Amino acid sequence: MAGCRSWVFFLTVCAVSLFGANAEIKFTIPVGKLFTYELMRETFQNDFEPLSKLYAGRLYDDPIIFKCNRQNYPDLPEWLRFTQRQPYDNGFLYGTPKSEEKYIIEIYAVNKRSYETTRQILVIKVSGEKMLPYQAEFFIMLREVEKVLPSPVQDEIKQDLQKLWDTEALEVVNITNALDRGGRVPLPLAGHFEGVYVKVGSEQYFSDCLLKVLTADHQRQCKAGAKVKVPGGCNFCSIPSNCITWCKTELFDLTKQEPAPPAPEMGSGILEAGGDFDPSESPPSREYFLDYIVTVIVPLILAIILCLLLACIMYGRREGVAKRNARTNQIQLYHHHTILGNTDELRSMAGNRGVPSPLSTLPMFNSRTGERAPPLPSDSASIPLIMAQHDPYSETLPRK
């Protein structure tokens, strides 16, 4: 199987090299088997400027990002996922198809240095095959999904699981990132990983090591939170980063599961010949008088009661002018009437502009006799106002 994948990858690279990145690449995959396609950055560089350029004696690499979608659709199919960690890393399309169908995937590569764009067409034809009856899902804690998707890493994991299952007829069914299953984002520190779920399947029944997962003792230890060690004689982990977590191992026996009911078939929407259309009965008539009372009459009555209450508070409890004057101090009332009288007098004087000006506005005057003195000779057109103070002990006018 590893040799077949190597040949498929070799033929893909040759096709892209011969026909360019815009050529169609076709795959035929079975239902229920993992599909993985690595988007190599090098294969798209032929449509861009040279991959490496020399600037100031240093060698730079162009960052490339990939955007994938199904043709005439805004996103990928439900079963197909895409991942690319950094613009300097390769991208991966991976997933497990669930039904027979033909998918046309558009892959756009964008050069982040020059913003040039190129496209590649990927045609995936899903053929129907029998699902593997016995499947098992393992959790690898010290891995990340883009590090597991390359074919050599999958082969390493599958070799360990073949020893655990005690069979070589083993196929990778699905690979899922732990973050897609509700896992927490790890700290950006060395030794912290997201984790990956790997599901494999086989025609052969589970081995004794796998069946130990179903024992009551094992499940009790996992529920108690104890760190379950590898069962005796079942440690087939050759690489520490590929070791599985036993408490998160699940077994699936598809032979005991009831088949899913068939999907309903869509009809033509046209009645058969001779059929009569029998519409459903109309709903009974409803009386809306009670709703009218609740929504209109009751709020109106409440508004009237509030208006009457407000009017009673504002107008019904006033003391009256006579009662107020009787309880007010007479000096305060006198001052009040004096202010009102002076205000009326000023208003009447302002309305009648023909009367002589008050003596206080003349240039010079005697405050006792009322005589006016001629203005002082001055070259200025304006004459200053001089107010003569009244002296009761002097009868003389101010000197000219």
User: Per the structure block, which two tokens stand in for 358?
Assistant: 């008050």
| pTM of the model as a whole | 0.58
Q: Look at residues 194, 197, 199, 175 and name the one whose alpha carbon lies nearest to residue 183.
A: 194
Rounded to 10°, the helix 151-165/2-19 angle is 170
Q: Look at residues 66, 171, 178 and name the one whose alpha carbon lies nearest to residue 112.
A: 66
What is the Cα–Cα distance from 134 to 112, expressed in whole angstroms? Answer: 45
Q: Look at residues 202, 182, 229 and name the one whose alpha carbon lies nearest to residue 136.
A: 202
Q: What pLDDT, on the 0 to 100 scale, is given for residue 394?
A: 43
Q: Look at residues 147, 206, 149, 210 and name the one whose alpha carbon lies nearest to residue 175.
A: 149
Residue with tokens 């196929």: 171
Non-local CB neighbours of 97 within 8 Å, separated by 6+ positions: 29, 31, 32, 35, 79, 80, 124, 126
- Beta strand segments in 96-170, E: 102-111, 117-127, 134-140
Residue type, 125: K
User: How far does Cα 245 stand from its chain's mean position?
Assistant: 34
Annotated domain spans of the chain:
1-128, 130-256
Q: What pLDDT, on the 0 to 100 scale, is given for residue 375?
A: 54
Q: Which CATH entry fits the domain spanning 1-128: 3.10.20.30, 3.40.718.10, 3.40.50.720, 2.60.40.10?
A: 2.60.40.10
CB 112 within 8 A of CB 226: no
Kind of pairing, strands 117-127 and 24-30? Answer: parallel
Q: What pLDDT, on the 0 to 100 scale, is given for residue 362?
A: 56
Q: What pLDDT, on the 0 to 100 scale, is given for residue 22?
A: 59
Per-residue pLDDT for the chain (400 aa), expressed as one digit of tens each?
Answer: 444 444 443 444 444 444 444 568 999 999 989 999 999 888 887 777 654 554 544 445 788 999 999 999 999 999 999 999 999 999 999 999 988 999 999 999 998 888 889 999 999 999 887 888 999 999 999 999 999 999 999 999 999 999 999 998 999 999 999 998 888 888 888 888 999 999 999 999 999 989 988 888 888 888 887 676 677 778 888 888 999 998 899 999 988 877 777 777 777 777 667 667 777 788 788 888 999 999 999 999 999 999 999 988 888 766 677 777 787 888 888 888 899 888 888 888 887 766 666 655 555 555 566 666 655 554 444 444 444 444 444 444 444 4
Q: What pLDDT, on the 0 to 100 scale, is given for residue 106?
A: 95
* Phi, psi torsion values for 355, nearest 5 degrees: -75, 155
Residue with tokens 């790997």: 198
User: Per the structure block, which two tokens stand in for 330?
Assistant: 């007479």
- Cα distances from 312 to residues 303, 305, 317, 320, 363, in angstroms, run 14, 11, 7, 15, 61
Cross-sheet strand order for the sheet of 35-39? 35-39, 91-95, 80-83
Q: What pLDDT, on the 0 to 100 scale, is given for residue 398?
A: 47
